[in-house]
Amino acid sequence: MKFRFKQFVYFCGIVGIGLACQQRQANQQEKEEKSPSDYPQVEQESFGTIEGKEVTLFTLQNSQGMKVKITNYGGIISQLWVPDKEGQLEDVVLGFDHLEDYLKGSPYFGAIVGRYGNRIAKGQFELDGELYSLATNDGSNHLHGGKKGFDKVLWDAEYLVDEKNVKLLLSYHSIDGEEGYPGNLSVKVVYTLTDENALKIEYYATTDKKTIVNLTNHSYFNLKGAGKGDILEHQLTIYASKFSPVNQELIPTGELQPVEGTAFDFRKAVAVGARIQKEDTQLKFGRGYDHNFVLNRTGEQLFEAATVVEPVSGRKMQVFTSEPGVQFYSGNFLDGSLTGKDQRVYEHRYGFCLETQHFPDTPNQPGFPSVILEPGQTYQSTTVYKFSLANENKK
């Protein structure tokens, strides 16, 4: 009996120690876990080196759990974690895990694009009677800033955190003649993650010589999650009554064509894939959608350019901009040859872009809104990607 009692005491002792240890672990975890008041926050880590210079990966996080990773190489948004209707976070932008993969060749995944987003025919334009020749990198045309555009340079970076927002400030000095553009251009791009699950991008530039500027961001979104299927069932609305038809080289003809009665009418929500296979010269030239939409904006304020809803996850993204146009690109050049984050293969149309911008080839199109920047002026452009749930307002 005595023996049994001893055993019992011994057993209780062991259990007691075990429980105490568990409690200590739980306390420890509690201490390590952050509370909402610890956010917004920013963390930084090394993302490798380029030409002997350190590349940094910044993580911006808000109190809602939304998180964005941005590197100062190309200002690339490499991850963007957004909740679905169950509160599950998913990374909704295409990209790579390692800097080397971006250096090997990326179709502008997540990058800042400049000095001129989109195409300039033959890489040529005239300014005050002077002919400028830019680098050509898309057949005989200039695309997205040339051979070494803003997507391939290292930006200076600093960050700022206030009570509600966390900001990453990137700056780059583009010298006179870089990729053929006139003028020394000082560029600043500010990424802000707000507590309302919005990612705001503000672009600023000044020059010492008359030049042209058209900056944008080239994120490929998939609201299911990067690499988790194609984007054809995403419901898209673009608030545009006209679009820019293009020639075979994707250079605008100069005409602004009504979307009415065409596969380009996204004025009411429709699945991206609903009409993408239609017999249509414009869809043929673009290999799908790769066109500038002329936004129905009035006034200078931010305008809702597009809304996208992914029906299964319930994720919704609204795009607001100060720009006159948005290039809707349905990921037509993705062909399964790139393996992205988490070893996921990016097949045809696994991502879409909504590149807010001035119209393509504006320097050669007198009818399009101007992209000229003069000394003494400041180029300014803002785009907001706001995330929520599809039925949030109906609740």
* Binding-site annotation: residue ranges for beta-D-galactose: 118-119, 218-220, 290
Which residue from 327, 287, 276, 332 is spatially nearest to 306, judged by alpha carbons? 327
Q: Which is nearer to ligand GLA, 118 or 362 (CB)?
A: 118
Q: Which is nearer to ligand GLA, 108 or 320 (CB)?
A: 108
Q: Which is nearer to ligand GLA, 66 or 251 (CB)?
A: 251
DSSP label of 206:
E
Q: Which is nearer to ligand GLA, 40 or 145 (CB)?
A: 145
Q: What is the closest distance, in whole angstroms, from the C-beta atom of residue 55 to ligand GLA in the complex? A: 22
Q: Which is nearer to ligand GLA, 66 or 338 (CB)?
A: 338
Choosing from 178, 310, 355, 358, which is the catalytic residue?
355
Choosing from 142, 144, 178, 218, which is the catalytic residue?
218
Q: To 10 degrees, the CA torsion angle through 359, 346, 106, 226?
A: 80
**Alpha carbon distances (Å) from 1 to 4, 5, 7, 12, 332:** 5, 6, 10, 17, 81
Q: Which is nearer to ligand GLA, 59 or 118 (CB)?
A: 118
36-44: long-range pairs with CB below 8 Å, 24+: 36/63, 37/63, 39/63, 39/195, 40/161, 40/162, 40/164, 40/165, 40/166, 40/193, 40/195, 41/161, 41/166, 42/159, 42/161, 42/166, 42/168, 44/159
3-state SS, residue 3: helix
Q: How many CA atoms within 13 Å lie on the side-chain side of 41? A: 11
CA distance 365 to 269: 31
The amino acid sitting at 32 is E
Q: What is the closest distance, in whole angstroms, from the C-beta atom of residue 138 to ligand GLA in the complex? A: 7
- Biggest alpha carbon–alpha carbon distance for the chain: 109
Q: Which residues bind ligand GLA (CB under 6 A)?
A: 107-108, 118, 143, 250, 290, 327, 329, 333, 353, 355
Q: Which residue spans within 9-165 are E strands per DSSP? A: 41-50, 53-61, 67-71, 77-83, 89-91, 112-113, 119-120, 124-127, 130-133, 142-143, 156-161
The amino acid sitting at 12 is C
Q: What is the closest distance, in whole angstroms, from the C-beta atom of residue 122 to ligand GLA in the complex? A: 16
Helices (H), 258-352: 281-286
Q: Are 169 and 186 in contact (CB under 8 A)?
A: no
Q: What is the closest distance, in whole angstroms, from the C-beta atom of residue 180 to ligand GLA in the complex? A: 19
Q: Which is nearer to ligand GLA, 181 or 329 (CB)?
A: 329
Q: What is the closest distance, in whole angstroms, from the C-beta atom of residue 286 to ligand GLA in the complex? A: 8
Q: What is the closest distance, in whole angstroms, from the C-beta atom of residue 31 to ligand GLA in the complex? A: 46
For the question of residue 86 being annotated catalytic, the response is no
Q: What is the closest distance, in whole angstroms, from the C-beta atom of residue 300 to ligand GLA in the complex? A: 26
Beta bridge partners, 352, equal 221
For the question of residue 355 being annotated catalytic, the response is yes
* Binding-site annotation: residue ranges: 118-119, 218-220, 290
- Phi and psi of 176, rounded to 5°? -50, 125
As annotated, the active-site residues are 218, 355
